[in-house]
Every structure is written in C-alpha cells, then in structure tokens.
Amino acid sequence: MKLYRYLTGPDDANFCLRVSEALNNGWELHGGPTLAFDGQRIIAGQAVVKEAPGQFSRDIDLSQF
C-alpha cells in the first residue's frame, strides 16, 4: 500500500529532526517543502510517502511506519 504524511510545525531544528527521522524510517520526500506565516512564526510543511506491506485502512497509525 502507499502511505502519505504531511509533516508540519514551526520552521526550527525540531521540524528538521522530524523530517530526518521520517527519511531514516523509509519515508521519501514528496515534492518540495512549504512555508507559511501564522502571524507570529514561520510554519514549515513537507509531504512524505512510503510503500508499505498490508492493506490500507483508515485506522492505520501512520506514526507506526
């Protein structure tokens, strides 16, 4: 099955670590990063995708992959 996640958060070292962790767990970048301003800080976003065994279900916990 194909899985998709969109990681978001303040544009800081913690966000970069979350994306790095996903990459090291087999996720791949999907497109470029996005940036938005919420009136106080810059919010970053990055889509990631992964091919995983099994059948898709809406009950899947994507953080477990």
pLDDT of residue 64 exceeding 90 = no
pLDDT band at residue 63 under the 50/70/90 scheme: confident
Burial label, 48 (beta-carbon count in 10 A; 0-12, 13-18, 19+): buried
How many residues are present in the chain? 65
pTM over 0.85: yes
In the chain, how many domains are there? Answer: 1
For 5-45, give the DSSP string. EEEEEESSHHHHHHHHHHHHTT-EE-S--EEEE-SSSEEEE
Each residue's pLDDT tens digit, 3-38:
999 999 999 999 999 999 999 999 999 999 999 999
pLDDT band at residue 62 under the 50/70/90 scheme: confident
56: containing domain: 2-64
